[in-house]
Amino acid sequence: MEYIWKYESPMGEMTMASDGKNLTGLWFESQKYFAATLSEDTEEKNLPIFEKTKEWLNRYFQGEKPEICEMPLAPKGSEFRMAVWKILSEIPYGEVITYGEIAKQIARERGKERMSAQAVGGAVGHNPISVIIPCHRVVGSDGSLTGYAGGIELKKKLLELEGCLRYTEK
């Protein structure tokens, strides 16, 4: 059984998902792959994890810097996606990284000569826990705002909220 609950953020309604203990999903309503990892067996129910998530998000949207480690997260995905999401979780607040930099890090970790930045982009785009696992902090090799499942305008707003200036508008 999975549980869902709504959160009204300053940037639009979000849906939270949980296995009853951990946060398993967090999506903006208009986001690509919305609720893609949810099973059909869901129930609307406010749980302590949703209250904790709301508190975290409230702090974030007020300009504070809550830590990812404060949240019990359990995203569902392939081994490759999980490796990419782990790297996303390590991007400091207000900073960005490129798809290529993530690809190089994954290649190093796996003992490979190279890794496709496009494959990394696919994994980033399928991140099921938006904002908390900060996929919005990934930019193109030239610093451009590219590919965000919630849309480029939302990505821009999130980066501006964090005071991030290391990107360019194309």
Sequence-separated (6 or more) residues with CB below 8 Å from residue 153: none
Whole-angstrom Cα distance, residue 136 to residue 149? 9
Considering the candidates 135, 138, 149, 161, report the single residue annotated as catalytic.
135
Query: Which one, of 150, 27, 24, 148, lies nearest residue 96 by Cα?
Result: 148
Residue 69 annotated among the catalytic residues of the structure? no
Do 137 and 95 touch, CB atoms closer than 8 A?
A: yes
Q: What angle do CA 51, 57, 59 make, to 5 degrees?
A: 105
Catalytic residues: 135
